[in-house]
């Protein structure tokens, strides 16, 4: 059984994987290792976890514009998330998702706080649909 969550499409494409949810923003520059896909920011709730092939859900991005290029490096290294969900996208993450061809949505009509880590989820960046398997 699944539920469909409607969001706003940001970066085209479709990605599926287990969802990885953070209540805190993410900085890709100095926050995620582009060689391994592991969150390295000290004290971050996802510290030590890999974002590779996950549906990465977090409120918004933070940090330098270079974060967009770190996202691109993650993609080139095969360590990028399968898709991204934000509460509210900001330019650094939007640009990173677009140039890296990582499907992305924001403004989901269901709060991310109601979702559980590890659930298989599909994101369609063109239609804005999030299919959450329950």
Confidence tier at 22 by pLDDT (50, 70, 90): very high
Average pLDDT for residues 43-62, to the nearest whole number? 98
Mean pLDDT, range 123-134, rounded to an integer: 97
pTM exceeds cut of 0.95: yes
Out of 2, 23, 50, 64, which one is annotated catalytic?
Answer: 64
Q: Answer yes or no: 64 catalytic.
A: yes
pLDDT band for position 94 (50/70/90)? very high
In Å, what is the CA distance from 129 to each residue of 41, 73, 125? 30, 26, 7
Domain 7-125 coded CATH 1.20.1510.10: no
CB 110 within 8 A of CB 23: no
Q: In 3-state terms, what secondary structure has residue 16? A: strand
Domain ranges of the chain: 7-125
Neighbours of 45 (CB within 10 A): 13
- Residues 56-87 have pLDDT tens digits of 999 999 999 999 999 999 999 999 999 999 99
């Amino acid at each position: 059984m699944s539920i469909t969550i409607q969001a706003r499409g940001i970066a085209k494409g479709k990605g599926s994987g287990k969802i990885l949810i953070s209540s805190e923003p993410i900085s890709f520059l100095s926050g995620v290792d582009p060689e391994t896909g592991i969150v390295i920011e000290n004290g971050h709730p996802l510290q030590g976890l890999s974002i590779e092939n996950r549906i990465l859900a977090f409120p918004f991005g933070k940090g330098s514009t270079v974060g967009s290029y770190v996202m691109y490096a993650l993609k080139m290294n095969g360590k990028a998330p399968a898709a991204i969900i934000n509460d509210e996208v900001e330019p650094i993450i939007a640009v990173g998702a677009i140039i890296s061809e990582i499907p992305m949505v924001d403004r989901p009509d269901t709060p991310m706080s109601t979702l559980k880590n590890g659930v298989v989820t599909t994101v369609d960046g063109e239609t804005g649909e999030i299919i959450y398997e329950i």
